[in-house]
Amino acid sequence: MRAWRSYGAASRSASSVMIRAGLNALFPRSPLRSLRSYSSVPSGASSRSARSAASVLTDRWRSRVTAADAAGCQRRFLSGNKGGGFSGEDGGESSAGSAGDEESGGDEGPYVPPQMTALAPMLVPEVFPNVPLVAVNRNPVFPRFIKIIEVRNTQLVELLRQKVRLAQPYAGVFLKKDDNNESDVVESLDAVYRTGTFVQIHEMQDLGDRLRMIVMGHRRIRINKQLDVEPEEAESLEEEAEQPKAVRRKQKRSRKDSAPLAEVMEERVREAQFAAEALPLPGVLMVEVDNVVHEEFQVTEEVKALTAEIVKTIRDIIALNPLYRESVLQMMQAGQRVVDNPIYLSDMGAALTGAESHELQDVLEETKVEEKIKQTHRKYLLQEQLKIIKKELGLEKEDKDAIEEKFRERLKDRTVPQHIMDVINEELNKLGLLDNHSSEFNVTRNYLDWLTSMPWGTNSEENLELSQAKEVLEEDHYGMEDVKKRILEFIAVSQLRGSTQGKILCFYGPPGVGKTSIARSIARALNREYFRFSVGGMTDVAEIKGHRRTYVGAMPGKIIQCLKKTKTENPLVLIDEVDKIGRGYQGDPSSALLELLDPEQNANFLDHYLDVPVDLSKVLFICTANVLDTIPEPLRDRMEMINISGYVAQEKLAIAERYLVPQLRTLCGLDEQKAKITPEALSVLIRQYCRESGVRNLQKQVEKVFRKVAFRIVNGEETEVNVNQENLQDYVGKPIFTVDRMYDVTPPGVVMGLAWTAMGGSTLFIETSLRRPRERQGKDGPKEGSLEVTGQLGDVMKESAKIAYTFARSFLMKEQPDNDFFVDSHIHLHVPEGATPKDGPSAGCTIVTALLSLATDTPARQNVAMTGEVSLTGKILPVGGIKEKTIAAKRAGVTCIILPAENRKDFSDLAEYITEGLEVHFVENYSEIYKIVSEMQRESLPLDS
Question: What are the residue numbers of the active site?
Answer: 842, 885
The C-alpha atoms of residue 511 and residue 768 are separated, in whole angstroms, by 34
Tell me: is residue 719 an annotated ligand-binding position.
Answer: no
The C-alpha atoms of residue 250 and residue 260 are separated, in whole angstroms, by 17
DSSP H or E run through 424: helix 418-433
Tell me: is residue 88 an annotated ligand-binding position.
Answer: no
Q: Could you tell me if residue 836 is left (phi over 0), alpha (psi between -120 and 50 degrees) or otherwise beta?
A: beta
**What long-range pairs does 932-938 form, CB within 8 A, spacing at least 24?**
932/861, 932/864, 932/896, 932/898, 933/751, 933/849, 933/853, 933/860, 933/861, 933/864, 934/858, 934/860, 935/861, 936/858, 938/861
Tell me: is residue 735 an annotated ligand-binding position.
Answer: no
Which of 864, 861, 862, 888 minimizes the C-alpha distance to 942? 862
Residue 718 CB partners (closer than 8 Å, separation 6+): 712
Count the residues in the chain. Answer: 945
Tell me: is residue 510 an annotated ligand-binding position.
Answer: yes
The C-alpha atoms of residue 698 and residue 701 are separated, in whole angstroms, by 5
Rg of the chain over all Cα atoms, to the nearest angstrom: 48
Q: How far is CA 384 from CA 349, 374, 389, 392, 394, in A?
A: 15, 15, 9, 13, 15
Tell me: is residue 512 an annotated ligand-binding position.
Answer: yes
Which ranges in 762-828 belong to alpha helices (H)? Answer: 795-815, 821-824
The C-alpha atoms of residue 732 and residue 798 are separated, in whole angstroms, by 39
Tell me: is residue 791 an annotated ligand-binding position.
Answer: no
Identity (one letter) of the amino acid at 151? V
**How many CB atoms neighbour CB 932 within 10 A?**
18
Tell me: is residue 100 an annotated ligand-binding position.
Answer: no
Residue 394 CB partners (closer than 8 Å, separation 6+): none
Residue 155 CB partners (closer than 8 Å, separation 6+): 185, 229, 231, 281, 282, 283, 285
The C-alpha atoms of residue 224 and residue 217 are separated, in whole angstroms, by 19
* CB burial readout 564-576, b (16+ within 10 A) else e: eebebbbbbbbbb
Residue 342 CB partners (closer than 8 Å, separation 6+): 297, 299, 303, 306, 307, 369, 372, 373
Which of 304, 309, 344 minimizes the C-alpha distance to 328? 344
The C-alpha atoms of residue 685 and residue 708 are separated, in whole angstroms, by 15
**How many CB atoms neighbour CB 55 within 10 A?**
13
Which of 214, 213, 181, 205 minimizes the C-alpha distance to 284? 181
What secondary structure does DSSP assign to 431-482, as a single string?
A: HHHS-TTSHHHHHHHHHHHHHHHS-TT--PPP---HHHHHHHHHHH-S--HH
Yes or no: say if 344 and 307 are a contact pair by the CB < 8 Å rule. no
Yes or no: say if 142 and 327 are a contact pair by the CB < 8 Å rule. no
Tell me: is residue 509 an annotated ligand-binding position.
Answer: yes
Cα of 692 vs its chain's centroid, Å: 36
Instruction: Report the alpha-carbon angle 609-613-615, nearest 5.
Output: 115
Known binding-site positions for ATP: 509-516
